[in-house]
Amino acid sequence: MISTASLKKGVNWKIFLRNYGIVISFFLLCLALSLVSDRFLTWTNILNVLRQSSINGIIAVGMTFVILTAGIDLSVGSVLALTAVVTASLLQRGLPISLVIITGLALGAVLGSVSGLLVSHLHLFPIITTLGMMTISRGLALTYTGGMPITTLPSSFDFIGAGSLGPIPIPIVVAAFIFLAGHFILTRTNLGLYIYSLGDNPVAARLSGISANKVILFVYALSGFLSALAGMILIGRLDSAAPTLGSGYEFDAIAAVVVGGTSLAGGEGNLFGTLIGALLIGVLNNGLNLLNVSALWEGVVKGLVIAFALLMYRAVK
């Protein structure tokens, strides 16, 4: 259902660039890195990039849903931290892993729902609402742990972050599933159509009989749920949970979404773009590592890439 209009009247380079510019940039970056570093195009490194991108990717899926409704969720990193420390402490108390996982994910969904309710029913601005949720969750995570990380989780939990299914690490499998499921919801279900329509024109959506409040509640709940899921993968890999986890993750997630061509004004964009956006950021991080660029420069480079991507979209619009 994505702009089929571009199929007519031969090739329109503007539409072509708008749809595929990000893919081209991504492959150019990969090409450049494979030329300057012979370690880049190795199986180990590729899996490494994918695994590192999977956490941001999962969060970015939720962020895409939220941004498509013209909202934003700044609380993803803090929700990740709070659900992670709660999950870790429950694990340490020896509760069954499946129960702990369900509890942790539910906590994420509940935290997201709180933001969702405030945005939908009380018409608060998403940016302020989730900014509040961001500081509250972080504060709760810090209080809950007394500021100390929770270490040595039961080894049976490690598979989530460090296990693998055949040759493919579990985080990559989970992220792939989330992307596919998200894509299915957005393109093949009523809910997906309602999300796009609500972001495009909320007044018309309400007058068309769409339960706008429920849709908004859903996207924020999903964002919280996926943040919690990403948090579990993260602590599974680190084998510990610190209350400071996930700080700045909202930036990477929003960056992936926006670089992927989803409009912050809502109603326009797709998960394919977000996937490429997340991979681009992953490759960028990896490339900076391979080239031994100081970690201190990372933020600057990422910021410039995003600014560049936005300028490009503006230019071809």
Partner 1 sequence: MAENQVSLEMHGISKSFPGVQALKEVDLILHRGEILGLVGENGAGKSTLMNILTGILHSDTGIITLKGKPVNIENPRQAQIMGISIIHQELSVLPNLTVGQNVFLGREPRLPIHFLVDWKNLYYLAKEHFKKLNLDIDPHILLSELSVAQRQMVEVARALSFKADIVVMDEPTSTLTEMEVKNLFSLIHTLKEQGISIVFISHRLEEIFRIVDRVIVLRDGVLVGSAPISQVDPKQLVMMMVGRELKEMFPKESLPQKEKVLSVKNLKRGKDLKGVSFDLHRGEILGLAGLVGSGRTFVARAIFGADPLEEGEIWIEGKKVQIRSPQEAISYGISFLPEDRKAQGLFLKLPLSSNIAITDMKELSFLGIIIFKKLQELASSFVNKLKIRTPSIFQIVRNLSGGTQQKVVLAKWLALKPKVLILDEPTVGIDVATKAEIHALMNGLAKEGVAILMISSELPEVLGVSDRILVMHEGLISGEFLRQDATQDKIMLCATGGANNG
268 binding partner 1? (CB under 8 A):
yes
Among 11, 122, 207, 295, binds partner 1 (CB under 8 A): 207
146 binding partner 1? (CB under 8 A):
no
208 binding partner 1? (CB under 8 A):
yes
How far from chain centre, in Å, is Cα 26? 18
CB of 214 to partner 1, least distance (A): 10
Stretch that binds partner 1, among 2-10, 81-89, 152-160, 241-249 (CB under 8 A): 2-10
Q: Are 39 and 292 in contact (CB under 8 A)?
A: no
For the record, the structure tokens of 277 come out as 């956006």
Q: Are 107 and 236 in contact (CB under 8 A)?
A: no
CB of 74 to partner 1, least distance (A): 25
203 binding partner 1? (CB under 8 A):
yes
Q: Which of 170, 188, 274 is nearest to 223 (CA)?
A: 274
Among 128, 151, 189, 308, binds partner 1 (CB under 8 A): 189
Q: Are 129 and 71 in contact (CB under 8 A)?
A: no
Task: Give whichever of 211 and 240 is closer to partner 1, judged by the CB atom.
Answer: 211
Overall size of the chain counted in residues: 317
Q: Could you give the CA distance from residue 2 to residue 147 in angstroms, rounded to a whole number?
A: 47
209 binding partner 1? (CB under 8 A):
yes
Q: Could you give the CA distance from residue 152 to residue 144 in angstroms, rounded to a whole number?
A: 17
Task: Give whichever of 151 and 208 is closer to partner 1, judged by the CB atom.
Answer: 208
For the record, the structure tokens of 192 come out as 């997906």
Report 5-64 residues binding partner 1 (CB under 8 A).
Answer: 5, 8-9, 12
Among 106, 176, 200, 239, binds partner 1 (CB under 8 A): 200
Q: What is the DSSP string of 4-52?
A: GGGGSSS--HHHHHHHHHHHHHHHHHHHHHHHH-TTTTSHHHHHHHHHH
Task: Give whichever of 15 and 124 is closer to partner 1, judged by the CB atom.
Answer: 15
CB of 17 to partner 1, least distance (A): 15
Stretch that binds partner 1, among 25-33, 49-57, 150-158, 208-216 (CB under 8 A): 208-216
